[in-house]
Amino acid sequence: MFKNVFRSGCLVRTAHVILTWLTTLILFLHNTDLRKNEERGELVLPVLFGTLVLLSIMLYFAVSLMDPGFVLSDADAKLSPVDGGELEKMLPQNTEVPRQRRCGYCLLLQPMRAKHCQVCKQCVRRFDHHCPWIGNCVGERNHRWFLLYLCIQLLVLVWGLQNAWSGITFALTWRQWFIQNGFLLGAFGITVVFSVVVLLLLGSHLYLASVNTTTWEFMSRHRISYLKHCDSEENPFDRGIMCNLWDFFCICRTVAWETVYSRASPA
């Protein structure tokens, strides 16, 4: 399930953890709402905030080190009633299934919606994108966990913004004000930047999940063999918002997308 921690993404992960805990430490050491709650003996909110920070880091490593759905052999690309899960059982089998192709890099059969990642050097099922932030691909097996991580991370960042703002104090001169609030201002600025990035990522991925498409398919549909003949508004994998979200978050098995695709293809 997990890959070697000590690979190229190790430095990015280390920097992420250090920055997270350093910012958290600044919020607890300055005269923020968290610090005031501690001094009054009201530990519920400080403990809850620390727990959310720890949870966000654990989810970060889970998504970062998890197998995103690597295609390891030709057997991984073959349709199976067991691997196909609920979706395959619900859909008709009497239409023509698009022919699978061999990857030009690793020479393995590519399941539909899979793509070869040049960074990871492997094909990934339901490839979304390679994320340099986590140092891993986002694919069929870790995409839902990636969204859960973004949700927790955004909650931590917004709460951190509120606490950083609450700790900023006033002074008689600008120089004294910067000296008093320098670390908090740095933490506030970092938190603002990450909040904007995470908010945009979360919004875009929730939209993609609701229409059952991926970042790669959304950006490159004119070059993808099974989508380029479709109209700009047509998506053969779309089953409606509620069904799409249910499948995305609750279907934890590998899906035979060739079968799903056949439902929308002419007989």
Q: Which of 117, 120, 123, 131 is catalytic?
A: 131
**Any idea what DSSP says for residue 91?**
S
Q: Is 131 a catalytic residue?
A: yes
DSSP single-letter state for residue 66: B
Residue 70, beta-bridge partner list: 124
**DSSP alpha helices (H): ranges in 103-240?**
143-167, 174-210, 215-220
Phi and psi of 140, rounded to 5°? Answer: -60, -35
Which residues, in sequence order, are bridge partners of residue 102?
109
What is the Cα–Cα distance from 51 to 23, expressed in whole angstroms? 15
Tell me the pairing of strands 115-117 and 122-124: antiparallel
Question: Any long-range contacts for 146-149 (C-beta under 8 Å, 24+ apart)?
Answer: 146/63, 146/205, 147/202, 147/205, 147/206, 147/209, 148/59, 149/56, 149/59, 149/60, 149/62, 149/63
- Is residue 33 within 8 Å of residue 166, measured between CB atoms? yes
The CA distance from 4 to 133, in Å, is 17
Q: Would you name the residues annotated as active-site residues?
A: 131
